[in-house]
Structure 1
Amino acid sequence: MALSGSAFLALWNDISAESDAEYNRWHTDEHVPERVGIAGFIAGRRYLSSAPGQHRYFTLYEVETAAVFESAAYLDVIARPTARSAAMRPLLSNVVRATCNTVGSAGSTAGQAIACVRIKAARAFDERALIDTCSALADVTAVHLGRAHVAVPDAFEKWSNADQPTHVLLVEGTDEQRLRAHATALRDLAFGHAGAASTVIVDAYELAFGITHSQVDASLRRSAPVVRSSL
């Protein structure tokens, strides 16, 4: 099924083993609901994997438009973190963050697993053709492609953007391992369509948590910051 809205935020990160349980509690009970409760956010999902050689967590936020990432409400939750968020931020590692405008989608069913393909395109390419070709792979239920743009709040500047992609390809399916079996094919398809300014990175995950805007409890919705007149 198509992603809701016209933009999304893709986030990859690791966390130490000793902080993993608290990270999951915080992410489920506070962090994702706080974000998804902001006007303009539609849904949020957390995925995880224990596979070596890739990030442990992937988080996906669906939003109405990319403008929400520059809204006063969103910038406020970043600038004024809760005590739990302030304590958790320094523990995050290997963070990659990509805000994307959605180019297009194919497929009609959301999957319980997702393959995330980070592409640094070396040339302009037929983005729709890449979506359609990936959607023909076995066990794939939906495919989405986003065109990334730079929008990094000051609080996140300490995290390197060396891995910042030009495109993020999301391939949903029924099972992490079945999607992982397509890793070579996805790399080859991404390279064949877009070329590559660096290595095409493919990760695969299982869905761990998801919430929509309407499901966020009122107690977790942050009030919009007060704008005071200078008069």
Structure 2
Amino acid sequence: MAARSADETLLARALVEIPPSDALNEQILDAAREQFVTFGLRRSTVDDVAKRAKVSRVTVYRRIGNKDGLVSACLLREYRRFVADVDEAVASLPTIEDRLVAGFVAVLKHIREHPLVGGLLRLEPETLLPFLTLESGPAFVAMREYLADRLRHAQRAEGRPETDPTPVAELMVRITVSFLLNPVSCFELDDDEQVGAFARRYLVPLLSVR
């Protein structure tokens, strides 16, 4: 349980920490990502990662840590990339409505297509599902607050009266997780255009709810 609690704080850390640039660390984390995508977490060892990275086991321990540290560092980097992708998708858009739609499209697309998340759901769903459901509290709150902060920033940029965007942000997170866990739906969400139309029809109106 302690290991899971630590992992659940990764997203919160990803939103505020800026890691130092280190080519060797990146080489090791690239190898770890490839290993975890291919074989999952349970079947992977520090030795496996070291071989892929073409470094010694001692180097992995010295630079990153044990297996738990390796998993945490790898996931933390993926979370940072996720945040950067969403920010880039909405940065140039002029209205909060456009940003909400583009942000929802980016969030759902990233999670659906992410090789590590998708790989873990396929190879060992029992490892990942708790973090998306019953034990996802801290990560859920961190993502909700991240999205709410971006919506709040858009309100200010347009000079709109500030309203609390937290409910809309929470619905975005909950809907995304729901579609990830169970893609069977009466909504057609097979491509970005359909996802965007869904967001514009069902999520954008929530911005006007007081």
TM-score by length of 1: 0.26
Task: Using CA pairs under 8 Å that are at least 6 residues apart, name the structure with larger relative contact order, 1 or 2.
Answer: 1
Query: Relative to total residues, which structure has the larger helix share, 1 or 2?
Result: 2
TM-score by length of 2: 0.27
